[in-house]
Amino acid sequence: MNFKERLVGLEFENPLLRADGTIINQEDIQKFWNAFIKEGDERDADYLTGVLVGAKKKLSNGKFESLNTDTGVTTLEMSLSPCKSLDEAKKNYDEVRTAVLGTAKKLGFRYLGYAIWPRTFVGKNPYDYKTKKSLYAALNLPRHNLQLPITAHQTGISLRADEVLSAINTLQALSGTITCLSANSPIFEDKIMPWKETRLVNWNLTSTSAHSQGEMDIFAQMPSRPFTSLADYFKYIWRTTLVLPMLRNGQWVKPNQKLTPIEYLKGTKWPAKDLFGKDTELEPTLSDLNLLSICSWMDAKPHLVFKSSAVTLNEFLKNLEADTLDEYIKGRLVNCYMEYRIGGSSPAGEELALPALSLGLVNNLKRAEKLVAKYSWADWRKLRGNSYITGMGGKIGNDDIVPVLQELAEIAQEGLKMRSMGEEKYLEPVNTRIMEKKNPADKCIEVFKEKGMGGLLDYVTYTK
C-alpha cells in the first residue's frame, strides 16, 4: 500500500578525530562546541556536570536540529527532524554537515564518513574520553564504556499502528543483510580486525550487561523467535530491571530498589533519589511508560508515544496482561515509528542509501515479509550473528547472500517507487555494492593495505 505521508528521520553519528587519526579529548570537544555554536543556536549544557555536551543548530528553514556527543566525546551525533521525503531530509542533513565540517576544518579535526576509529585508544585510557552527561551516571549498564568508539546511522520511519508488529519482526529478520551491505569498521587499534564491523562486537559484549539476571539478547542480539504481539514484545524487553531511571523536570531520578518496568508501572509510589543524592518519590506516569517503551536497543526498535487523553497506566497494563495491546494502541498514539539501528556510518556521498533501503522495505512490507518467509527465523538469526564477519561472502541457509541482497534492493526500489518521489535514486550505492560484491569495509581494507594509515585516514575523511 502506498503511504506518502510516511515520514523519515535521520540520526547520524560520525567520528571526530585529530589530524593524525588519534582521538580528540575533552578539551578539544569544548573548543569544537564553542566554535560551532553561532548566534541563534542554542547551547546544551548538562544539568549535573555543567559541561557543554551539545547544541541545537538553527537551520535556514527556521528549524532547530540537535547535535551532541554520544558515549565518547569523539562521537558526533546529529538527530534530525522527520521529513516528508528523503530529498528534504538530505537538504537538512547537508546543511548541518556543512556547519560541522566547517568547524572541524577550522580546528584541524577530521570528520569521518566511516564508523571507524582506526587508531582507537592506543596508549590512552578510554575512560578519559567519555562524554560528561548525567545520563551516564544514571545508567545501569556495567560495560557501557564499550560504546565509546561506536557510530551508527539510524533511520526513523513512521508506521501505522497496524504495521508495527510486522515491521519490527521483518526488519529485525533482515538486519544481517544490512550488515552484509554496509559493514565498515574493520580497522581498529592500527590494524585490520578479523571482522568487518567492529561496532557489532562492541554491542554483543555490551549486551552481557543485561545478563545480571540471566537474561539474554535485549540490548543487541536478535531475539530467538519473532514477536507474536506487542504485549509479547514489551514483556520481552521488560524482563530486566530498569536500565534508565525516570525523568522528572528534565532530571534523572532513580528508584531506591531494583524493579522491572512492569513492577515499577504497577506501583503507586516508589522511594527514590535524584542524582544529587536528594531523597524523593516516584509516582509512575504516562511519560514514564513512554520512556520505558523505548528502553530496548534491538536493531528494529519501535517508538510508541501514547496519547495522554486516551491511555491510562491501568488500562495499558490490563491490555498488556490480556495480550490485546495491538488493538488497544489504535487511535491512542501521538507518534509511532520504527528506528532501524543496524547500519554503521555511511561513506561520504552514500549517506542516504541505507535510509532509502529501510524506507523502501517498510513501504513494501508485504513483499519484504515474503522474502523473510523464504528462510527460517533461525537462518536469519544465524546470518545476523555472522554477517559482520562474512560481509558479502555470507550465506543464509545453504544459499549465497548476494541474490538475497539483490531481491532486497528490488523490494526497496519498488517500495520507494510507490511513493512517487523519485527516491529510488538513493539506492544506487546499494546496487553498486551488490554488483561489486564489496561493502565499504572491503574497500577500506584495500585502501589500508595499499596506502597505509595515512591513505586510509584521507580516504575516510570528509572533504566537503
Partner 1 sequence: MPKTTVSKAKQVEEILDNNRDIIPNFFRTVILNSFQEHEPTKFELDAVIKVLTDEIDKVKKYARG
Looking up cell 544481517 gives: 176
Shortest distance (Å) from residue 176 CB to partner 1:
13
Residues between 362 and 421 that touch partner 1 (CB under 8 A): 385-386, 389-390
Query: Is the CB of residue 345 less than 8 Å from the CB of residue 151?
Result: yes
- Residue 287, amino acid: S
Based on CB atoms, which residue is closest to partner 1, 123 or 331? Answer: 123
Terminal CA-CA length for the chain: 38
The helix-helix angle for 428-436 and 175-182 (nearest 10°) equals: 80
Which residue, 201 or 305, is less far from partner 1 as judged by CB? 201
Q: How far is the CB of 213 from partner 1 (least distance, A)?
A: 7
**Taking CB under 8 A as the rule, which mask of x and - marks residues 138-157 in contact with partner 1?**
----xx-xx-xx--------
Surface-to-core class of residue 62, CB atoms within 10 Å of its CB (0-12 exposed, 13-18 middle, 19+ buried): exposed
Q: Which of 101, 137, 161, 205 binds partner 1 (CB under 8 A)?
A: 205
Q: What is the rounded CA–CA span in Å between residue 157 and residue 177?
A: 18
**Integer angstrom CA distances of residue 209 from 44, 198, 217, 232, 385:** 29, 18, 10, 22, 18
Stretch that binds partner 1, among 28-36, 137-145, 158-166, 363-371 (CB under 8 A): 137-145
Rule CB under 8 A: say whether 258 interacts with partner 1: no
CB 242 to partner 1: min, Å:
16
Q: Which alpha helices (DSSP H) does 69-193 contain, by range?
A: 86-107, 134-138, 164-173, 175-182
Q: Which residues contact 413 (CB under 8 A, 6 or more apart)?
A: 360, 424, 427
Output the smallest distance, CB 120 to partner 1, in A: 6
**Nearer CB in complex with partner 1: 347/391:** 391
Q: Does 2 bind partner 1 (CB under 8 A)?
A: no
- Looking at residue 57, what DSSP letter applies? E
Count, residues near partner 1 per rule CB under 8 A: 33
User: Between residue 210 and residue 239, which ones bind partner 1 under the rule CB under 8 A?
Assistant: 211-214, 216
- Minimal distance, residue 191 CB to partner 1, in Å: 9
Cα–Cα separations (whole angstroms), residue 358 to 156, 320, 432: 9, 29, 17
Query: Is residue 209 at the binding interface for partner 1, with CB under 8 A as the rule?
Result: yes
* Least distance in angstroms from the C-beta of 371 to partner 1: 23
Out of 127, 309, 398, 420, name the contact with partner 1 by CB under 8 A: 127
State which residue, 63 or 130, has the beta carbon closest to partner 1.
130
CB of 174 closer than 8 Å to CB of 372: yes
Task: Kindly calculate the radius of gyration of the chain based on its CA atoms and give it in whole angstroms.
Answer: 22
Contacts with partner 1, residue ranges (CB under 8 A): 120-122, 126-127, 142-143, 145-146, 148-149, 188-189, 193-195, 198, 201-202, 204-205, 207-209, 211-214, 216, 385-386, 389-390
